[in-house]
Amino acid sequence: MSPATENPKRLSLALCGKPLTSRIVESARKEQEEPVTLRAGPCRTQGRAPMPPLARILDEANTILRENNLPACESLEPCPDPDSWNPVVFGHARERDYAIKINVRAPDTLRTQLSVANAVRDLSALPIPEHYCCSPDGDNLALMVMERMPGEQVRTALPQLPREKADAVAADLGRCLAVFHRTGRDGRDPRLPARPAVPRAHIAGRQEWLEDRTREGLSRLDDCADWHAVRHGLIPAGAASSASAWLREHRPRVVELFEDHARAALAENSPMSLSKADQDVREFLCLADPVPHISGMLDWERVSYGDPRYEVMVLCLRLHLMECGGLWPSLRDGYERESGEGMRKTVGAMSYLIQRTIDSVSAGPRPDISVRLLEGILRDELFLFADDA
């Protein structure tokens, strides 16, 4: 009998069985006076939306700038390295420069973005651009006009920096993330999202979402020819074949480990803080001189409450995929110093890391690195946390 059929209940994710958290979610919902809406965000797709004509962007941006008594742009230029979803242009006015984002992914969140970003900026003094104005609802482009921040994307800067400066940037990234996570914990600022009324239901909903995403990620592992990195020629065919062969052999163990962690996470006492749905190294700018530091924190379209460790683990994965995994201890240490709390090896954080790593095999740029991470997780040899040693 093959490992995949020895215990079908344990491998419900691989066999599309009933999610293990369904019963617990239903129980948690009964504790509330009103039902909880548990909704998964959209799955990441590859590629970026095309840039609309600059003349149209200029015309619509100047309309909303004038309506808000702000200097109009005299010219625009495309941002050479925007985020993975939304085109960005830089607007030049006589008195200031703007960054103008064309919101393709979440055009219905413009006013919430503006409110949340400015609230976090005011409360934390983090390097968040002032969000000046946005498009009204209607048929026009969904534009967000904000302060242009100095610096280069962390994603492109870190691999090029000398190690000492790269470590300093990574440590400040951890610091900034810890400051963000403690912002608004009293829940008094009306500009911020409401805290979950029943945290247990929120945690159960997050685990249900993780299971759904893990199931989707597993379904895309079978044919490596359809992986993003293979279709776009980002890795050699031999490397993809080796990664695929490892997954075929070890997939049952990966699923079992994820389910063990996901089940245990439901009973874990998880912290709650402001967090982003999909934290990424693209969302931070940095300057290397004279003192290396984070100079900009961008993209505030999907902010809610959640376990802050999830965000930290996403950045851990991103650093490894960039082949900058050696910077992870600096980021972790910067986070721990600012938060005053150790990043322990918790089942909740590990279940999220496993899910995101599975997802990155088919959707990410380096499935070979993703598979090596899964192998390290199975062997318990990654030593990501100070208490691993």
Asked whether residue 208 is assigned to any structural domain, the reply reads yes
What is the distance between the alpha carbons of residues 15 and 35, in angstroms, rounded to a whole number? 29
Tell me, yes or no, whether 144 and 163 share the same domain: no
Question: Quick one: pLDDT at residue 385?
Answer: 79
Q: What is the pLDDT of the chain when averaged over all its residues? A: 84
Mind listing the pLDDT tens digit for each residue in 324-378?
Answer: 999 999 999 999 999 988 777 778 888 889 999 999 999 999 999 999 999 999 9
Burial of 19 (0-12, 13-18, 19+ CB in 10 A): buried
What single string gives the DSSP state of each residue in 11-43? TTTTTT---TTHHHHHHHHHTSSSPPP--PPPP
Asked whether residue 49 is assigned to any structural domain, the reply reads no
From 148, 177, 201, the end of a domain falls on 148
CB distance 313 to 354 below 8 Å: no
Asked whether residue 45 is assigned to any structural domain, the reply reads no
From 148, 182, 214, the end of a domain falls on 148
Helix (H) or strand (E) holding 179: helix 163-182
The stretch 169-175 carries a mean pLDDT of 97
Tell me, yes or no, whether 60 and 203 share the same domain: no
From 115, 148, 181, the end of a domain falls on 148
Asked whether residue 47 is assigned to any structural domain, the reply reads no
Tell me, yes or no, whether 267 and 123 share the same domain: no
Q: Which amino acid is at 140?
A: N
Tell me, yes or no, whether 95 and 225 share the same domain: no
Domain that holds residue 121: 54-148
Tell me, yes or no, whether 79 and 194 share the same domain: no
Tell me, yes or no, whether 96 and 17 share the same domain: no
**Neighbouring residues of 335: CB distance < 8 A, sequence distance ≥ 6:** 174, 175, 177, 178, 312, 343
Give the whole-number percent of the chain exceeding pLDDT 90.
57
Residue 2 above 80 pLDDT?
Answer: no
Give the whole-number percent of the chain exceeding pLDDT 70.
86
Asked whether residue 42 is assigned to any structural domain, the reply reads no
Confidence class of residue 30 from pLDDT cuts 50, 70 and 90? very low
Tell me, yes or no, whether 243 and 372 share the same domain: yes
The stretch 235-254 carries a mean pLDDT of 93
Residue 33 above 80 pLDDT?
Answer: no
Residue 105 above 90 pLDDT?
Answer: no
What is the distance between the alpha carbons of residues 389 and 98, in angstroms, rounded to a whole number? 47
Question: Quick one: pLDDT at residue 170?
Answer: 97
Asked whether residue 99 is assigned to any structural domain, the reply reads yes
Asked whether residue 48 is assigned to any structural domain, the reply reads no
Tell me, yes or no, whether 77 and 107 share the same domain: yes
Tell me, yes or no, whether 90 and 22 share the same domain: no
Count how many domains the chain has: 2
What single string gives the DSSP state of each residue in 57-85? HHHHHHHHHHHTT-PPPSEEEE-SS--SS
Residue 185 above 50 pLDDT?
Answer: yes
Asked whether residue 383 is assigned to any structural domain, the reply reads yes
Tell me, yes or no, whether 110 and 242 share the same domain: no
Tell me, yes or no, whether 336 and 244 share the same domain: yes
CATH number of the domain that residue 126 is part of: 3.30.200.20
Q: Which amino acid is at 159?
A: P
